[in-house]
């Protein structure tokens, strides 16, 4: 889906799509950069500082999640869904680790929002498909499966609540849990945080008629596992289906 189509699609709405696209580009470039920056021995603060510095250099004008550029999870708290507790401040990345980075740059009132889980094996970042750890491969396969399901299951009548039920049922079928402490799977992109609509129970709003970009960010772990996985992209309902932007 190209930029011109998106601009036309949102031209009579309050969605600031041009700035959203700029902010999302910053998010994407930051995560690409972090895949080559991450090293064993780094602390959360070192990763956090690099995310802010890199996105500032790319032109981010702020960070819409309480002016915080990135949520960073790793180690035995990879399935923890909020910022790491203070006692983990000096915890360092190991040579075999999972590192999730969720960034939130902003251009004017346009939000970027993207997350990736990086796999470190023997001291280097590699594709999850090449990882020797079966739990990691299966977890990331499940993430990709959920995003494919998300893109194809939504039609003109699907509500946020119905989508939540579909994804939740799929997780349970394959033996996974939703790690998000709010219990949702994503949210709308707004001009103000308090206006966000979430993919959650009780949200009986039609996705296609709401007509705003939404994120999909399942944070999951195996029922009997210890590792958490997260992959977030931004989508818009366009011409009868969800399209990634």
Please calculate the CA angle 244-181-206 and round it to the nearest 5 degrees: 45
pLDDT of residue 108: 95
What is the per-residue pLDDT across 51-94, written as a single tens digit (0 to 9) for each? 999 999 999 999 998 899 999 999 888 998 877 677 777 889 99
pLDDT band at 2 (very low <50, low <70, confident <90, very high): confident
pLDDT recorded at residue 76: 84
Domains of the chain: total: 1
Residue 167 structural domain: 3-244
Enumerate residues 6+ apart whose C-beta is below 8 A from 31. Answer: 101, 103, 114, 115, 116
Closest among 16, 13, 11, 2 to 110, alpha carbons compared: 16
CATH value at residue 236: 3.90.230.10
Question: Distance between CA 104 and CA 67 in Å, rounded?
Answer: 9
CA distance 146 to 182: 19
Q: Write the pLDDT tens digit of every residue in 104-132.
A: 999 999 999 999 999 999 999 999 999 99
Distance, CA of 100 to CA of 245 (rounded, Å): 21
């Amino acid at each position: 889906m190209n930029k011109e189509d998106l601009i036309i699609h949102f031209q009579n709405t309050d969605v600031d799509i041009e700035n959203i696209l700029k902010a999302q580009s910053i998010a994407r470039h930051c995560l690409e950069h972090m895949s080559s920056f991450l090293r064993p021995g780094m602390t959360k603060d070192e990763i956090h500082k690099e995310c802010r510095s890199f996105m500032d250099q790319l032109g981010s004008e702020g960070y819409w999640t309480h002016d915080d550029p990135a949520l960073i999870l790793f180690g035995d708290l990879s399935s923890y869904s909020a910022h790491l507790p203070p006692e983990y401040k000096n915890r360092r990345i190991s040579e075999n680790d999972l590192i999730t980075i969720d960034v939130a740059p902003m251009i004017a009132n346009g939000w970027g929002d993207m997350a990736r889980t990086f796999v470190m094996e023997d001291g280097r970042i590699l594709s999850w498909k090449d990882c020797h750890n079966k739990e990691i491969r299966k977890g990331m396969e499940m993430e990709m499966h959920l995003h494919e399901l998300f893109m194809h299951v939504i039609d003109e009548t699907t509500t946020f609540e119905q989508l939540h039920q579909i994804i939740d049922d799929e997780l349970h079928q394959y033996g996974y849990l939703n790690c998000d402490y709010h219990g949702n799977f994503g949210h709308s992109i707004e001009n103000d945080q308090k206006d966000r609509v979430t993919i959650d129970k009780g949200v009986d709003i039609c996705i296609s008629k709401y007509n705003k970009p939404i994120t999909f960010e399942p944070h999951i772990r195996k029922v009997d596992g210890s590792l958490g996985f997260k992959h977030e992209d931004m989508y818009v309902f366009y011409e009868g289906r969800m399209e990634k932007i």
